[in-house]
Structure formats: C-alpha cells, structure tokens
Amino acid sequence: MASSKFYAYYVRGRKIALIQHDVTLGSGQTLSQPGLNAVGARGDVSWKSPSETITEGLEIEYAYSPKYSITTAATTQANKFYINGWTVVDGYLTFLRSHSASVANWDASPYSAVGDDEHIVVRGSSRWSGLHKIKAGGTDGTLQTYTKVHQSVVVVSGSSNIDIAAEASSKALISSNDASNIWLNSLFSAGDYIFVAGAATAHNNGFWKVDSVASDASAESSSGIYVKNRYYCYDSDNTLTTEGEDTTVDTTAQANGSITIYKAYRDFCYLISDIDTLDDEADVIDIPDYLAQALVYYVKARIAEDRMDLEKKEYNMREFNRLLEKNESSKIWGARRIGSDETAIR
C-alpha cells in the first residue's frame, strides 16, 4: 500500500526543520505555500509540524562541519561547571557562579580549568548556548567572556559606602551611606536578581533575589533593598545537576564596604572547557575526502587566476567540479549498472 505521508524540510541558519503535508487541512498549520498537492496537481499545499510518531526516525546525512570539538568527556567539577546566570561587565557577557556560603574562585582549582583566552561551550541556556571565548575569570564568582552584549545592565560600584545588615525578619537590608548618591531602591525592583561581589564576609556574596525595596526617603541609607532567597551551585557533589535555593537568609553586618552589586539574570546552565576550535593551520576540517581534494584544486585555481595563468586556472576548476560531482554521486545508494546487456562483461 502506498504511503499517504508527504514530508519536506527547510533550513534556517544551522537549523533544519521537518514539516508534513497537511492532507486533512486541519488545525495546527504552521506554514502554507503554493506548490504541488498530494497527488501532484498544482494547488495550495499546507504544511505543519509533524503530529505523528515516525517509528524509524529521521536520518540526516552530510550535516555541516562544526567549528569546534570537545576533546574530553564532560565531567562535573573537572571540565564541566554549572552557573547560576549572567550579567554584563564593561559590555561583555559575564557568567556568574554562586556557592551556598561563598562564590566560585575561577583562579583556583577546579575552576581554573577554565583558563583565560580559552574557548568554552555553553549548554542549557535560554539565551547563550553555544561557543564563547573567556576574557578573564575572577576570584569573585564572575567569568567574563569576549561576547559583546548590547544591553544596558545596572552595576553599582560602591567604593567604601555599601552597608549590608544582618538578617532580620527573614530578610537582609542592603543600603548605601548617606551622601553617596546611590539610591538602591530606584535602581532595583522586587523580583530582580542581583549578584553581590567584594563583601568582606564570604556568605554575603553571591546570587540573591530582591524581595522588596524600601520606600522613598530623604536619605540613601533609608532607601535600600531587601534580599531573601539565595541561589547557588553545589560545589562538592559531582552528581547534582540542580540549582540550590536557600530561603533562610544568612548575612553578617558589614559597613562601608567596597562592594559591587550587579543586576543579574537567572539562567541555570553549564559550560564545558577543553574545547578545540578551528583557529590555526594545524586544525583538520571535518569534510569528506572528495571535498577535501576538491578544496585543494579550488585554492590552486584561485592562485593561478591571481597570476593570470588562465590555462592552469581552468584545469584546476575542471578538477574541482569533477570532484564535486563525485562527492554528490557518492551519496546515491544502490547498485550501479555497468554497460548494457549487449556489452556485458564476460
């Protein structure tokens, strides 16, 4: 019995999407375009995301060549590290890792496995999954990349004028000294996330959620913010892949601190180091043999063209196109017939 299922695909950037012909023209259509109908006649064809289970799966052959490879198996707390979220420092994307009573020191083991000017791959992020290059790892839990972010993010650099109070009524107050001209209640809102760095007491630092803000007052010290929930990555158990959340505030009073407060974005994901990228002549391009040979002829043709040696240029281009045809022919499966019945090989 002939199959009544018709499929197609479309490519957008590096992504491929499979779509199915909507025979019944029912609900759930996601794409319509003119073309051939199910029996081959001209007409309006409606396509949608496949709603059926394809038991034999989908095989994709000859996909794009990746720009990087992961050279070693990803192992938590060795070359795989979870992060709580991100912020922007000096215009660059910066990842943040908080611990239950401190922050990660990216200059100390095991976090120093992520070195400056090294490439990493981020996975599981709602926005930043993919390849990035490290600019600098800090002792304060920040890991700055070379990825530019065109987004204004609030950063408060309090030079000896930020106060953190001990917890009271399940909250902790963060405020600034009078005459500092830092009005924290106007910079942050309830529900915002912040990352505190530079506090003298380790557990004052980290990834916090703003629970509420103080009402406007005539003095900066009375116009602070209250934090409550703390979010962190487990730093000792190699099997835990969930984010920790501490709803019991634990802060130590500190006055006149040179503390930095970043507005942060919670995005629990992980990064992998030990990445080999295509960045020098020693790297191997992952392409089929025919295309590798064709590429050599193409480069030779361009060199000959620059030297105005048109005869050599045409020869190399013919060889280039011949190998392209061989590569395409190699994708065709099945038996190949040689000659005819009259000229069969004896």
Which pair of tokens denotes residue 338?
């040689």
Domain membership flag for residue 74: yes
Query: Are 122 and 190 members of one domain?
Result: yes
Query: Are 97 and 190 members of one domain?
Result: yes
Domain membership flag for residue 59: no
Which sign does the torsion angle of CA 136, 138, 144, 145 carry? Answer: positive
Query: Are 148 and 11 members of one domain?
Result: no
Domain membership flag for residue 61: no
Query: Are 149 and 223 members of one domain?
Result: yes
User: What pLDDT was estimated at residue 1?
Assistant: 43
Q: What is the distance of C-alpha 237 from the center of its chain? A: 24
User: What pLDDT was estimated at residue 11?
Assistant: 66
Domain membership flag for residue 115: yes
Domain membership flag for residue 346: no
Residues 329 and 207: their CA atoms lie apart, in Å, by 56
pLDDT digits (tens), the chain, 346 positions: 445 667 777 766 556 677 777 655 444 444 444 444 444 444 455 677 776 666 666 666 555 556 778 888 899 999 999 999 999 999 999 999 999 999 999 999 999 999 999 999 999 999 999 999 999 999 999 999 999 999 999 999 988 999 999 999 999 999 999 999 999 999 999 999 999 999 999 999 999 999 999 999 999 999 999 999 999 998 776 667 899 999 999 999 999 999 999 999 999 999 999 888 876 666 666 677 888 899 999 999 999 999 999 999 999 999 999 999 988 887 776 666 655 555 544 4
Query: Are 186 and 226 members of one domain?
Result: yes
Query: Are 266 and 301 members of one domain?
Result: no
Query: Are 84 and 111 members of one domain?
Result: yes
Pairing of strands 254-272, 80-89: antiparallel
Domain membership flag for residue 344: no
| Of 251, 276, 301, the domain-final residue | 276
Query: Are 131 and 263 members of one domain?
Result: yes
| pTM for the predicted model, two decimal places | 0.70
Residues 145 and 95: their CA atoms lie apart, in Å, by 8
C-beta of residue 81 within 8 angstroms of C-beta of residue 97:
yes
| N-terminal to C-terminal alpha carbon distance within the chain | 40
Q: Which domain holds residue 77?
A: 70-276
Residues 309 and 312: their CA atoms lie apart, in Å, by 6
Query: Are 322 and 268 members of one domain?
Result: no
Among candidate residues 155, 99, 154, 151, the one with its CA nearest the CA of residue 127? 151
Query: Are 272 and 293 members of one domain?
Result: no
Provide the domain count of the chain. Answer: 3
Domain membership flag for residue 30: yes
Which pair of tokens denotes residue 335?
């038996």
Query: Are 100 and 240 members of one domain?
Result: yes
**Which phi-psi region, left, alpha or beta, contains residue 184 (left: φ > 0; alpha: ψ -120 to 50)?**
alpha
| CA–CA distances in Å: residue 262 to residues 25, 35, 306, 345, 346 | 51, 53, 54, 78, 81
Query: Are 44 and 128 members of one domain?
Result: no
Which pair of tokens denotes residue 146?
């070379």
| Of 276, 310, 337, the domain-final residue | 276
The dihedrals phi and psi of 289, each to the nearest 5 degrees, come to -60, -45
Domain membership flag for residue 301: yes
User: What pLDDT was estimated at residue 277?
Assistant: 82
User: What pLDDT was estimated at residue 145?
Assistant: 98
